[in-house]
Amino acid sequence: MEKIPAHIAIIMDGNGRWAKAQGKDRCDGHIEGVVSVKACIKAALKRGVRYLTLYAFSTENWGRPQAEVDALMQLFCASVTKETPELVEQGVQVRIIGRRDRFSEEVRERLLHIEESTAGGNKLTLVLAFDYSSKDELVRATRKVAEMVQNGKLKAEEIDDKIISAHLDTADMPDPDLIIRTSGECRLSNFMLWQASYAEMYFPQTMWPDFREEAFDKALEVYSERERRYGLL
Ligand code: FPP
């Protein structure tokens, strides 16, 4: 493979449709989706991808039926706890982006625990977007920058794209080179709108629970054939 993206961000979509097609409950799709998460982490490590961002729960997902929200929260808690030792062994550092204030104390603690336990990982940064949306992130960043102006720490005319980037949840991470959304939907749904400026997009038909190593490698192959010009000739 010629060009390996430093940062791949994935909108994991299609768990519900996958489950329905199998005559199963939607939550079975999410459970099978965790197997794909593990497969993609392994594939990313194998191929030398440095950052892997996964959109696990959007700010809009709170509007799903309470039973599904509860099941997802339980799945996150169980998965992050169960997988922490293996992630440490693999050299994976976990970072969480999004809001924290709407989670239960238990979820907040587990998220903090996985971040602290994996802080020494230096092979792959796994960025989990939980209660994340891009507009919410931009609003929070804008408030922080406005406060700096209000407190006289920054002049309005000094605000540039670097200042904005530095106040996003993704500060000090490279922008994604490749954004993948599974299940054939072709939209970003409030995900990394600022960071996506020059990302390549890939929308495979594969449902997330079927997105394993082979599908990951196919995405790398598609990316390596793209020509990125960044607005130049
Ligand atoms: C979208 O599919 C998927 C989600 C809202 C949840 C994704 C979560 C996981 C795969 C679990 C990941 C766990 C960790 C610890 C990262 P959908 O339900 O919208 O599918 P549909 O469009 O077919 O209904």
Whether residue 190 lies in the annotated active site = no
Q: What pLDDT is recorded for position 97?
A: 98
Nearest Cα residue to 132 out of 45, 193, 70: 193
Rounded distance between C-alpha atoms, residue 215 and residue 8, angstroms: 13
Look at ligand 1, atom 12, and give the residue with the nearest C-alpha: 34
Strands laid side by side in the 178-181 sheet: 92-97, 124-132, 51-58, 7-11, 178-181, 200-202
CATH match for 7-133+178-224 among 3.40.1160.10, 3.40.190.170, 1.10.10.10, 3.40.1180.10: 3.40.1180.10
Look at ligand 1, atom 16, and give the residue with the nearest C-alpha: 56
Q: What does the pLDDT look like over 61-91, one tens digit per residue?
A: 999 999 999 999 999 999 999 999 999 999 9
The one catalytic residue among 15, 25, 61, 70: 61
Tell me the pLDDT band of 230, cut-offs 50, 70 and 90: confident
Q: Assess whether pLDDT exceeds 80 at residue 36.
A: yes
Rounded distance between C-alpha atoms, residue 178 and residue 91, angstroms: 22
- CB of 19 shorter than 6 A to ligand 1: no
- CB of 190 shorter than 6 A to ligand 1: no
User: Which atom of ligand 1 lies nearest, measured to the CA of 26?
Assistant: 18
- How many percent of the chain have pLDDT more than 90? 96
Average pLDDT over residues 118-140: 98
Contact at 8 Å (CB) between 174 and 165?
no
DSSP 8-state code for residue 209: G
- CB of 97 shorter than 6 A to ligand 1: no
Q: What pLDDT is recorded for position 1?
A: 58
Q: Residue for token digits 């030398």?
A: 48
User: Which atom of ligand 1 lies nearest, measured to the CA of 18?
Assistant: 23
Beta bridge partners of 130: 57
Average pLDDT over residues 120-135: 98
Q: What does the pLDDT look like over 96-113, one tens digit per residue?
A: 999 999 999 999 999 999
- CB of 209 shorter than 6 A to ligand 1: no
Average pLDDT over residues 215-228: 94
**182 is written with which tokens?**
């599974």
**Distance in Å, CA 130 to ligand 1 centroid:** 11
- CB of 181 shorter than 6 A to ligand 1: no
Mean pLDDT over the full length of the chain: 97
**Which region holds residue 90: left if phi is over 0, alpha if psi is between -120 and 50, else beta?**
alpha
**Distance in Å, CA 12 to ligand 1 centroid:** 6
Q: What pLDDT is recorded for position 147?
A: 98
User: Which atom of ligand 1 lies nearest, measured to the CA of 20?
Assistant: 23
**How much is the pTM?**
0.96
Q: What pLDDT is recorded for position 231?
A: 84
Average pLDDT over residues 122-149: 98
Q: What pLDDT is recorded for position 219?
A: 98
